């Protein structure tokens, strides 16, 4: 099936099968920031923005993305660098495997919530699992990023 | 799930005609459960273009389109105002924000998932389901049906009747499915008691509901009624918890809920 998407601001046409998932398709199309980990929707590593909403791409059939705007870390430009700086400053980075999903989720949170409390930040980010950092520095990094203009 | 063909009908009429045409045709909800089934589907029907993504607060209550995401419900002021934490709590614990952006309320309710504590929460809110072909049916009756006919769930309606409720559940971790969940609600002298994850699909404690119908229930009755509620379900064991543990959770949740909702004397 042929579908049309806007990936990181660029229009593309993809030829996909009905059983293909978005995470695989994105990697096939050069978005290697999208990592597949649990492949079950639980870990958040493959998070991308689908029409502006954070979504686990391993659980989205690619055909359903027809006509949608998709954003990955590759399309975030300076914002991704800002988040990376915050993570580095507070020691919120470990092996880095889950980082792209976390960066996308944090980017979405900043656009969705105004002045969230510590608890709200924790709640929002709990769909992104990390086995290195123990979460505390990640929340600190998120709060740092929320303060940035 | 192995999908042979993907179809996106423009309206419900087309979607229903296709659904009933063959046994192998199935509806897609949010699509987050596809990998957990081994079905072979001839036509996977996507209802995204059928106008079912809406949330309307009207005089009679909340009208929720079946394709509304759980995240939209969780963050809605209208839902919070009418349902309090009864619906918000089970919604906000389901995995992460990303998955809740994808899961649709219709796709969660229609298959009657046994792990859900959103379903018992909707049951105690006396929710009604609107199907394309068969019309309106209460969620409680739908859950009791042996094998519901193939149809399209179009809307979930939560009536505004001043029902007060309490939904409680036990989880091993914050954003996991619950081990067991129990909801109790009250509107004047009409009580609804529903539980889920026995494991198994959600059920009401019908005998206790009949016993309390029209009768004044006071806080003193909490001990006696909670025992009866705990006895009215059949529990099972799995890796999340034993049948005995679930029964004890049920008794404790029921007592707490009745103590909170019942009259003083």
The reply to whether residue B32 touches residue A59, judged by beta carbons under 8 angstroms, is yes
Q: Do B31 and A60 touch (CB under 8 A)?
A: yes
DSSP assigned state of B33: T
Give the Cα separation of B246 and B199 in Å (integer).
Answer: 9
Chain A, nearest residue to B96 by Cα: A127
Collapsing DSSP states into helix, strand and coil, what is residue B147? coil
- B131 in Cβ contact with B27 (< 8 Å): no
- Joined together, the tokens standing for residue B249 give 């959770």
Question: Which residue of A lies nearest to B49 if distances are taken between CA atoms?
Answer: A64
Q: How far is B224 from chain A (nearest CA, A)?
A: 37
CB of A39 within 8 Å of a chain B CB? The answer is: yes
Enter the pTM of the model.
Answer: 0.94
Alpha-carbon distances, residue B72 vs A90, B128, B160 (angstroms): 32, 19, 19
B174–A18 C-beta distance less than 8 A: no
Where does residue A3 fall: left (phi above 0), alpha (psi -120 to 50 degrees), or beta otherwise?
Answer: beta
SS3 string, chain A, reads CEEEEEECCEEEEEECCCCCEHHHHHHHCCCCCCCCCCCCCCCCCCEEEECCEEEEHHHCEHHHHCCCEEECHHHCCHHHHHHHHHHHHCCCCCCCCCHHHHHHHHHHHHHHCCCCCHHHHHHHHCCCCCCCCCCHHHHHHHHHHHHCC
Which residue of chain B is at minimal alpha-carbon distance from A46? Answer: B98
- For position A85, what pLDDT does the model report? 92
Residues of B within 8 A of A60 (CB-CB) are: 31, 102
Mean pLDDT of chain A: 93
* ipTM surpasses cut 0.85: yes
Nearest-neighbour CA in chain B from A72: distance (Å): 14
The 10s digit of each residue's pLDDT in B27-58 is 999 888 888 888 899 999 999 999 999 999 99
Strand order in the sheet with B178-187: B164-171, B178-187, B190-196, B203-204
Q: CA-CA distance, B65 to B42, in Å (whole number)? A: 26
Do B88 and B94 touch, CB atoms closer than 8 A?
Answer: no
Q: Cβ of B96 and A44 within 8 Å?
A: yes
At A149 the pLDDT is 67
Determine contact: A2 vs chain B, CB below 8 A: no
- Token digits of residue A64: 């359903």
Chain B residue nearest residue A1, CA to CA? B6
Q: Is A123 on the interface with B (CB under 8 A)?
A: yes
Angstrom distance (rounded) from CA A59 to CA A63: 12
Q: What is the pLDDT of residue A78?
A: 93
Residues of A in contact with B4 (CB under 8 A): 18
Q: Which of A100, A128, A95, A105 is nearest to A31 (CA)?
A: A100
Q: Could you tell me which chain B residue has the CA closest to the CA of A52?
A: B101
**Mind listing the pLDDT tens digit for each residue in B149-161?**
999 999 999 999 8
Cβ–Cβ < 8 Å for B104, B128: no
Identify all chain A residues contacting B98, using CB atoms and an 8 Å cutoff: 41, 44, 47, 54-56, 105, 127
Within the 22-41 window of chain B, which residues sit less than 8 Å (CB to CB) from chain A? 28, 31-32, 34-35
Note the pLDDT tens digit of each residue in A11-65. Answer: 999 999 999 999 999 999 999 999 999 998 889 999 999 999 999 999 999 999 9
Across the interface, do B96 and A39 touch by the CB < 8 Å criterion? no
Q: Is A42 an 8 Å CB contact of chain B? A: yes
Name A12's bridge partners. A5
Q: What are phi and psi of A131, to 5 degrees?
A: -100, 0
B189 touching A (Cβ < 8 Å): no
CB contact under 8 A, A44 and B48: no
* A19 touching chain B per CB within 8 A: yes
The Cα–Cα gap between A147 and B17 comes to 53
Question: What distance in Å separates the CA atoms of residue B134 and residue B166, rounded to the nearest whole number?
Answer: 31
- Window 164-183 of B, Cβ < 8 Å to A: 174-175
A131 and chain B in contact, CB less than 8 A: no
Residues A3, A148: Cα–Cα separation, whole Å: 37
At B46, list the tokens: 């996507």
Question: Which residues of chain B, if any, have pLDDT below 70?
Answer: 265
Mean pLDDT of A92-117: 92
Distance (Å, rounded) from C-alpha B178 to C-alpha B125?
Answer: 19
B54 touches chain A (CB under 8 A): no
């Amino acid at each position: 099936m042929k579908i049309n998407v806007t990936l990181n601001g660029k229009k593309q046409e993809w030829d996909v099968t009905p059983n293909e998932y978005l995470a695989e398709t994105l990697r096939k199309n050069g978005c290697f920031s999208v990592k597949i980990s649990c492949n079950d929707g639980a870990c958040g590593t493959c998070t991308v923005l689908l029409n502006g909403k954070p979504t686990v791409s391993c659980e989205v059939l690619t055909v359903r993305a027809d006509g949608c705007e998709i954003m990955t870390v590759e399309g975030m430009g300076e914002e991704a660098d800002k988040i990376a700086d915050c993570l580095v400053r507070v020691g919120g980075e470990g092996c880095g495997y889950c980082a792209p999903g976390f960066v996308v989720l944090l980017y979405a949170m900043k656009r969705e919530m105004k002045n969230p409390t510590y608890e709200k930040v924790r709640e929002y980010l709990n769909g992104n699992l990390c086995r290195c950092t123990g979460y505390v520095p990640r929340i600190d990094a998120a709060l740092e990023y929320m303060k940035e203009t | 799930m192995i999908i042979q063909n993907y179809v996106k009908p423009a309206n419900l009429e087309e979607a229903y005609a296709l659904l009933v045409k063959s046994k192998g045709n199935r509806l897609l909800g949010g699509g987050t459960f596809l990998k957990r089934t081994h079905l072979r589907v001839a036509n996977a029907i996507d209802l995204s273009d059928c106008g079912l993504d809406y949330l309307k607060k009207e005089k009679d209550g909340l009208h929720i389109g079946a394709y509304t995401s759980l995240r939209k419900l969780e963050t809605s002021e209208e839902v919070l105002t009418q349902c309090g934490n009864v619906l918000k709590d089970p919604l906000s614990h389901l995995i992460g924000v990303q998955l809740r952006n994808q899961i649709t309320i219709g796709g969660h309710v229609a298959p009657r998932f046994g792990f859900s504590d959103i379903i018992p929460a909707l049951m105690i809110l006396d929710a009604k389901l609107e199907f394309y072909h068969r019309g309106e049916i209460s969620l409680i009756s739908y859950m009791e049906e042996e094998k519901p006919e193939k149809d399209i769930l179009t809307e979930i309606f939560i009536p505004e009747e001043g029902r007060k409720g309490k939904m409680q559940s036990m989880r091993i971790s914050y954003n996991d499915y619950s081990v067991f969940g129990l909801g109790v609600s009250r509107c004047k002298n009409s009580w609804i008691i529903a539980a889920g994850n026995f494991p198994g699909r959600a059920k009401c404690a019908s005998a206790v509901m009949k016993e309390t119908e029209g009768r004044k229930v006071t806080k003193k009755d909490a001990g006696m009624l909670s025992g009866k509620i705990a006895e009215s379900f059949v529990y099972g064991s799995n890796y999340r918890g034993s049948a005995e543990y679930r029964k004890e959770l049920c008794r404790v949740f029921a007592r707490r809920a009745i103590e909170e909702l019942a009259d003083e004397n």
